[in-house]
């Protein structure tokens, strides 16, 4: 589970941990895990799973008999969306020699309260073993970053780590940690209007929310009650980012809404220009 991705703000995704317990109604990852899961989850256990080797299907298909294949395909989500540590995937970034921007754990919230510290530590050690890459993380629990920094699991030396917080509304789940790391915010999907930039900037300063990069996107799929953001929401959000000096990235889902105002910026490209 590590390869090219359709996510337009990174080069690849890598999932040494899968599964999440937030239960967001618009979650695309849960749908993927359900579709390709093996349904081996135990509804009474509701626990975490660790796999040192990939789990394979025991079903035998005709093409396998013809080719002499004894083992079936790898099951990417044997326990559906229950938290699972695929320890055998830890060496994947080290095998990629060309530098990539990697969305780490796109199919999980690696920093959810249910994820043990030692899982996170092993994932970050694997990142450090392949320093040629840039690693992007997203969580709905950004306070965990502070906790891990205090424990020495995350350090200020990890400058190829970008710690992200995800929200659907500027008034909720704002980044509020004091980390000296690179930070960004993902507002996807946008489910509510953003206030005018002046008021939003005041709220952000009160919450110590000063990310270097903000990603915006519209809800996709066919969920009942799907919210389509208005251009004014995005305009207000972009002005807020401009006032803070943050780079802005709009996902393709906003291209039609934004028209000529559509923009995709990467903060590390700004840094390279100033060197």
Q: What is the pLDDT of residue 43?
A: 52
Closest to 153 measured CA to CA, from 182, 178, 128? 128
* Residue 170 binned pLDDT confidence (cut-offs 50, 70, 90): low
pLDDT at residue 195 above 80? no
Q: What is the pLDDT of residue 213?
A: 92
Structure tokens at 205: 């300063």
* Residue 275 binned pLDDT confidence (cut-offs 50, 70, 90): very low
* Sign, Cα dihedral of 87, 90, 95, 100: positive
The residue among 242 and 273 whose pLDDT is bigger is: 242
* Torsion-angle region of 221 (φ positive above 0: left; ψ -120 to 50: alpha; else: beta): left
The residue among 31 and 162 whose pLDDT is bigger is: 162
- Sheet bearing 84-86, strands edge to edge: 17-18, 84-86, 49-51
Q: How far apart are CA 228 and CA 254, in angstroms?
A: 10
pLDDT at residue 72 above 70? no
88-131: pLDDT as tens digits: 999 999 999 999 999 999 989 999 999 999 999 999 999 999 99
Instruction: Using a pLDDT cut of 90, give the percent of the chain over it.
Output: 41
Structure tokens at 14: 């890598």
Q: What is the pLDDT of residue 63?
A: 41
DSSP code, position 186 = E
225-247: pLDDT as tens digits: 788 889 999 998 898 888 888 89
Q: Please state whether the peptide bond connecting residue 138 to the residue before it is cis, i.e. omega within 30 degrees of 0.
A: no
State mean pLDDT over 257-274: 84
State mean pLDDT over 162-180: 67
Q: What is the pLDDT of residue 19?
A: 86
State mean pLDDT over 187-197: 79
Average pLDDT for the chain = 81
Least confident among 40-44, 189-193, 261-265 = 40-44
* Residue 64 binned pLDDT confidence (cut-offs 50, 70, 90): very low
Name the 3-class secondary structure at 73.
coil
The Cβ of residue 140 has, within 10 Å, a number of other Cβ atoms equal to 17
State mean pLDDT over 270-275: 57
Q: How far apart are CA 81 and CA 20, in angstroms?
A: 6
Q: How far apart are CA 236 and CA 254, in angstroms?
A: 14
Q: What is the pLDDT of residue 226?
A: 80
- Give 36: exposed, middle or buried? Use CB within 10 Å, 0-12, 13-18, 19+: exposed
Model pTM score: 0.84
State mean pLDDT over 200-217: 68
The residue among 224 and 175 whose pLDDT is bigger is: 224
């Amino acid at each position: 589970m590590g390869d090219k991705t359709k996510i337009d703000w990174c080069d690849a995704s890598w999932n040494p941990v899968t599964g999440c317990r937030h239960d967001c109604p618009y979650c695309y990852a849960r749908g993927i895990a359900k579709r390709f899961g093996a349904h081996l989850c135990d509804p009474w256990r509701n626990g975490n799973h660790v796999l040192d080797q990939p789990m394979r299907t025991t079903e035998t298909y005709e093409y396998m008999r013809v080719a002499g294949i004894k083992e079936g395909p790898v099951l990417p989500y044997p326990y559906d969306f229950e938290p699972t540590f695929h320890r055998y995937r830890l060496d994947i970034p080290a095998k990629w020699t060309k530098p990539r921007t990697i969305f780490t754990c796109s199919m999980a919230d690696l920093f959810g309260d249910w994820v043990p510290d030692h899982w996170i530590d092993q994932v970050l050690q694997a990142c450090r073993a392949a320093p040629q890459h840039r690693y992007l993380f997203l969580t709905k629990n950004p306070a965990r970053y502070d906790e891990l920094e205090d424990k020495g699991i995350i350090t200020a030396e990890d400058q190829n780590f970008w710690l992200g917080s995800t929200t659907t509304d500027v008034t909720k789940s704002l980044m509020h940690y004091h980390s000296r790391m690179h930070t960004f915010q993902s507002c996807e999907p946008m489910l509510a209007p953003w206030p005018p930039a002046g008021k939003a900037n005041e709220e952000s300063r009160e919450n110590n929310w000063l990310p270097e990069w903000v990603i915006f996107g519209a809800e996709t799929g066919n969920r009942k009650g799907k919210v389509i953001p208005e251009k004014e929401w995005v305009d207000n959000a972009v002005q807020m980012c401009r006032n803070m000096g943050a780079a802005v990235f709009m996902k393709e889902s906003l291209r039609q809404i934004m028209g000529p105002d559509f923009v995709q910026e990467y903060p590390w490209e700004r840094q390279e220009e100033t060197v």
